[in-house]
Structure 1
Amino acid sequence: MSFTRLVTLAAVTAAVLAGAPALAQDRIKMKAIGQPLATGLIQKNKEQPFFENFAAKTGLPIDVDYKPIDTLGVKDTEQLRVMKAGLFDIVSLRVSQNSRDEPTILGLDLVGASPDYATGKKVAKAYFDTIDARLQQQFQVKLLGVWPFGPQILFCKKPITKLADVKGMKVRVYDQNLAKFIELVGGTPVPVSFADTHQSLSLGVVDCAITGPSSANSAGWPEVTTHQLPIGFQMALNGYAMTLKAWNSLKPDQQAKLKAAFEAQTEEIWKYSEELFQDALNCNAGKDPCTTGKKYKLVNVPVTPADLDLVRSAVSKVSLPAWAEVCDKSNASCSQKWHATVAPVLGLK
């Protein structure tokens, strides 16, 4: 090979090698925390596929390393802290579980405020900007969407005919707002993580527990309970959020595409969650149609008008005052902003 050809070949090779990192750098890598595997079908059928096909879903050169939180060794109560520390870029935010670190976000899902999907959607829309601003200020995290697991209902291993029957029973709860309500009806609230609830019911640590019917079905709660009372205490609203560092690294047109993709994703989950809710109630009670879960034989306890009134009254009697007291201590304008945005949606003065 002539010297000239050798030099030319070396130059071409150098150019290719120099260009390779640039091509590789064109793709953006992000790390995401997902919902626990144990929560079931929304995580499995909607969330995981969204993140695993993130580039196609968003039309952006972004590859996401998605991990359900119960595979990471990170507690679901620590999501905002690990985001603020810069350990992850995107989070599927568990609202109630992280409300101790930021009480403002619990205003999204006060007990009794969102008894059905239509109301829950209105509350989420009305309160979205307030939460987004607070998360940006306190944790450098931007809110990109809000979606529901669906109405959180009661499962018991002892016979019940109405909500008041939990008096004297130990009830698994997942946030302080719900705990205050259980105290109101005479039960003893016991904070237990979702992953530990099946065992807690089995061992008698708790007599009853609250979650959505689909999550309960996926986690096998009907194996260790006998009754379900399908009254919605909360909508179990959750969110998708991204660190401001990751958000600001994107160009304005990329941000617009990303925002649109998350809005489409959350809208899809709203629809899917509502379908799952009724189907899972059927599955738990051993009725048809049951297409999304395993059939069990729980007693389906009829919801009485008195039960409905009791839950609806929780907003003004318990959940709003208790939450406002805690939230206003860490965020002076907290309850004031809730009254300005969410209260009109619920017809509260």
Structure 2
Amino acid sequence: MKPLRLSHLVTAAAFALAGLAAHAEPVKLRVAGNLVAAGLLQQQREQPFFESFTKTTGLPIEMDYKPMDVLGVKDADGLRIIRSGLFDIVMLRLASVSRDDPTLLGPDIVGLSTDYDTARKVFDAWREPLDQRLQAKHNAKLLAAYPFGPQILFCKPAISGLADLKGKKVRVSDQSLAKFVEGLGGIPVSLSFGETQQALERGVTDCAITGPASANSGGWPEVTTHTLPLGFQVHYNAFAINLAKWNALPPEQRTKLAEAFRKFEADAWTYSRELWDDAARCNVGKDPCRIGKKFALKEVPVSAADRKVVADAVRTVSLPLWSEACDKVNDKCSAAWKQVIGPVVGLK
């Protein structure tokens, strides 16, 4: 028998390795996704993205996706969950998890990101500081983010503007918004989204703040009468991957995974805006109403004075409050904000 040449051995080894790779078990990543209560963004964009991930990307990665409310997980615990490694990819509602780290609320303090165009510029400016913070302190890497869109006011009692919030109980989602409502003479009430519809119905709270699409899918127009379409924040949702899981992936897989999430992010921004515009019309009985359910809320005209109150809130309320809280846990927080976000919105 003739001895095998080295080239033959190398070729045989290459085929053997290729065969092993072809039959290797795919990586399985556990995903704690957005709440089902979040509505169509979760149902029509987020869940299909994860469930078709392997087929769409060709990557040997399977996403075991479940919404947080199906898992029985609170969205406010997102940072703790991903830091612990209990789930590999976790949806982070920045307003909710900012209680554990105010850094995450940097692009969404009251009066800052009040429309889609500004929100996109602001988040892109904060993306790198946010990713660095997640990696340094929370064992996580940022993958993508999208907004629910401008968060507006829904009330059961009749209102004609922000001045009418004096003495009224208003559902809020974070301390920045709570402080703003207090400044108007209102009484901030911290409630989860899922609890709010019933709270409005029973009078536990008089008004509540969310996006038009979330309100529409959550049935808020069934238990309220007026809406003021003045944006306070946009409520970003981010997806992050456990840093150890990220680092364990081969470089080429990390590149392809990051690209897939960039495409998902762009699609989610576009769809979020489409849903917002449609629901804003549907909630007040206007056409075209193609996606949401049509209601008959009274749309309160937004005055120039109320717009100024919200715009001024960045300087007078939300930025000072946020800076103080953030600098306590991250000493370079407000300095970084002023460096990257300040120029975007004309603040020093």
- Normalising by structure 2, what TM-score? 0.93
Alignment of structure 1 residues 252-291 onto 2, 5 Å: 252-291=251-290
Whether the 8 Å contact between 2:111 and 2:310 is mirrored in structure 1 is yes
Alignment of structure 1 residues 1-349 onto 2, 5 Å: 25-349=24-348
Displacement of 1:251: 1.1
The percent of aligned pairs where both chains have the same amino acid is 55
Displacement of 1:43: 0.4
- Normalising by structure 1, what TM-score? 0.93
Whether the 8 Å contact between 1:59 and 1:257 is mirrored in structure 2 is no
One-letter code aligned to 1:114: S
Whole-Å separation in 2 of the counterparts to 1:193 and 1:127: 26
One-letter code aligned to 2:132: A
One-letter code aligned to 2:224: T
One-letter code aligned to 1:229: L
Displacement of 1:20: 11
Give the superposed CA RMSD.
1.4
Q: 1:102 to 1:292 in 2, by over 3 A?
A: same
Displacement of 1:26: 3.1
Whole-Å separation in 2 of the counterparts to 1:163 and 1:290: 27
Partner secondary structure for residue 180 of structure 2: helix
One-letter code aligned to 2:213: S
Partner secondary structure for residue 33 of structure 1: strand
Whole-Å separation in 1 of the counterparts to 2:19 and 2:202: 58
One-letter code aligned to 1:334: C
Displacement of 1:284: 0.6
Whether the 8 Å contact between 2:171 and 2:188 is mirrored in structure 1 is yes
Partner secondary structure for residue 76 of structure 2: coil
Structure 1 gap segments, 5+ residues each: 1-18
Displacement of 1:31: 0.5
One-letter code aligned to 2:204: V
Task: For residues 272-324 of structure 1, give each alpha carbon's deviation from its aligned partner in whole angstroms, at most 9, with x where no partner exists.
Answer: 11111111011111111001111111001111111111111110000000001
Q: How many residues align?
A: 331
Displacement of 1:58: 2.7
Whether the 8 Å contact between 1:197 and 1:209 is mirrored in structure 2 is yes
Whether the 8 Å contact between 2:81 and 2:90 is mirrored in structure 1 is no
